[in-house]
Amino acid sequence: MSFFQMAKTVLSSMFKKPATLNYPVKPREYDPIVRGHIEIEIEKCIFCGMCQRKCPTGAIKVERAEKRWAIEPFDCIQCNNCAESCPKDCLHMHNTATPANENRDLIRDARISVDAEDNKDS
Amino acid sequence: MGNRTIVPFGPQHPVLPEPIHLDLVLEDETVIEAIPSIGFVHRGLEKLVEKKDFQQYVYVAERICGICSFMHGMGYCMAVENVMDLKLPDRAEFLRTIWAELSRIHSHLLWLGLLADAVGFESLFMHCWRLREEILDLFDMTTGGRVIFSVCKVGGVRKDIDAEKLKKIVEVLSNMDSSLRSITKIFLSDTSIISRMSGVGVLSPEEAFDLGAVGPMARASGIVVDDRLLGYGAYPHVKFEVQTATEGDCYARTKVRINEIFESISIIKQCVSLMPSDTAIDVPVKGNPDGEYFARLEQPRGEVVYYVKGNGTKFLDRMRVRTPTFANLPPLLHTLKGVDLADVPVLVLTIDPCISCTER
């Protein structure tokens, strides 16, 4: 048994850099493999629905007829199953969290392919 | 005989952010009985197995607990793999072992921090969690997640760790060694901490055996019980000693967990040096599970039992988890008898309770 065991650690900590980051000034850099949020390259998408079938939480909705792809980011658990199963390699996992937004529809990010939008106009 | 009072402990208590409720029957300041009630965070995960594809259920199993999430996923996968007679590639077993042992280090460091906080040693708590953060960074780097890894799947693992990252793991663990030793020395030799823990909540080996204690709780009472000896994963290939103590009190449980951290570091280093060069990390899964199996593995808190029963469809019939905290509750209630009210938080903490696991 002894006293002041912590003193040495405390004293040496006074001369070390802080273990934490000065956050807003110095943002954290994430490793490329960190799973943050899913992004889609809608031009490449063929609306096969594979990602919808592979999603364990049912966060992804694909409507082939309307050429529409949507994700509910609050349901997404970032498992990367959709990106791995995508035959066209158009889904990508980004290493930052879903960006904050006030507009829920924008967050959900329903995307319609360019052809479908063209058809709508005509 | 003094006045009897009932003092409620939890479900919200500063020492433990998990919802366990104990009615402590006190005579003056001494606890003479503790009546537990759980069920505050029941989520019905065992029923959910009937509605989820057995391959997708891994993600649910991982979310049973936030601390040993990897080992829950691993336990579920082991059970299903045994039902389906899948033989994993060696590299997958080694990778699983590395992640499992890193989880053990992270869990024990988290627990040491909570213990320091419970005895009122705030700065020590910060230092424990500083070290734990380095382990979490390793998870971030190797799996892509800090807490929920999503790397285990039925039939292997989903991510490989390349040679560079394996080297980094060993490097981080080697660099941690000196600060880990100075931090853990405080727990084992500081007078103020010893006076809070020594002789509190003594559990004799016979009682531990009779009441079915598991994990560090049983090992601190001198029972050599460790599921890693069963030889799952890569454990048959590595050398390790089961850490035990004889006192059976809070101090002994702390000592066992501290020694296990160093043992885990040694296991990881051995795994890295023995890592097979064959790059296969999974086997294809064909068909659906048909049959039943009990999988047992050693989590940081003790033995977890996964029971799985398949019926030949992609939905399992039944899945049951017996978590270590559930097994450790009867010994806790036994040891609570006769301790001072002020010692209750420390004693409850030394079983390393995970109530979310317990209630699933």
In a domain, B82, yes or no: yes
In a domain, B28, yes or no: no
A37 vs B contacts (CB less than 8 Å): none
pLDDT tens digits for range B281-301: 888 888 888 888 999 999 898
In a domain, B49, yes or no: yes
Q: Do B123 and A31 touch (CB under 8 A)?
A: no
Report which of B76, B20, B37 is spatially closest to residue B53, judged by C-alpha positions.
Answer: B76
Probe site for chain A from B56, B69, B125 (most A CB atoms < 10 A): B56
- Indicate the burial class of B146 (C-beta count within 10 angstroms; 0-12, 13-18, 19 or more): middle
Residue type, position B8, single letter: P
Q: How many domains does chain B have?
A: 1
In a domain, B33, yes or no: no
Phi, psi of A88 (to 5 degrees): -100, 0
Q: Do A19 and B133 touch (CB under 8 A)?
A: yes
Q: Do residues B283 and B155 touch, judged by C-beta distance below 8 A?
A: yes
pLDDT at A78 (0 to 100): 87
In a domain, B146, yes or no: yes
**Partner residue opposite A6 with nearest CB, options B124, B148, B194:** B124
Residues in contact with B1: Cβ distance below 8 Å, sequence separation at least 6, in sequence order: B27
The CATH number covering residue B324 comes to 1.10.645.10
pLDDT at B10 (0 to 100): 75
Give the separation between CA B34 and CA A75, rounded to whole angstroms.
Answer: 40
Q: Do residues B337 and B32 touch, judged by C-beta distance below 8 A?
A: yes
pLDDT at A120 over 60: no
Q: Residue B359 has which token pair?
A: 């209630």
Give the HSE-up count for residue B121: Cα atoms under 13 Å, Cβ half-sphere.
26
Helix (H, G, I), strand (E, B) or coil at A122: coil
Q: Do A35 and B145 touch (CB under 8 A)?
A: yes
pLDDT at A19 over 60: yes
Structural domain of B253:
41-359
Considering only alpha carbons, which residue of chain B is nearest residue A13? B127
pLDDT at A122 over 50: no
Ordered structural domains, chain A, with CATH: 31-121 (3.30.70.3270)
Give the separation between CA A93 and CA A35, rounded to whole angstroms.
Answer: 6
In a domain, B11, yes or no: no
In a domain, B5, yes or no: no
Report which of B178, B148, B183, B316 is spatially closest to residue B257, judged by C-alpha positions.
Answer: B183
Determine the distance in angstroms separating the CA of B48 from the nearest CA of chain A, rounded to an integer: 12
Q: Per-residue pLDDT tens, chain B, 360 aa: give them.
A: 668 888 888 788 777 777 888 888 988 888 888 888 888 888 888 888 888 888 888 998 888 888 888 999 999 999 999 998 888 888 899 999 999 999 999 999 999 998 888 888 888 888 899 899 999 999 988 988 888 888 888 888 888 888 888 999 999 999 888 889 888 888 888 888 888 888 888 888 998 899 988 989 899 998 888 888 888 888 988 888 888 888 888 899 999 999 999 999 999 999 999 888 888 888 888 888 888 899 999 989 889 999 999 888 888 888 889 889 888 989 988 998 888 888 888 888 888 888 888 887
In a domain, B24, yes or no: no
pTM, 2 dp: 0.88
**What's the CA angle centered on A70, arms A66 and A72, to 5 degrees?**
150
Helix (H, G, I), strand (E, B) or coil at B282: strand
Give the separation between CA B348 and CA B19, rounded to whole angstroms.
Answer: 12
B158 vs A contacts (CB less than 8 Å): 80, 84
pLDDT at A31 over 80: yes
pLDDT tens digits for range B86-108: 888 888 999 999 999 999 999 99
**Partner residue opposite B189 with nearest CB, options A5, A77, A93:** A5
Positive or negative, the CA dihedral B118, B121, B125, B128 is negative
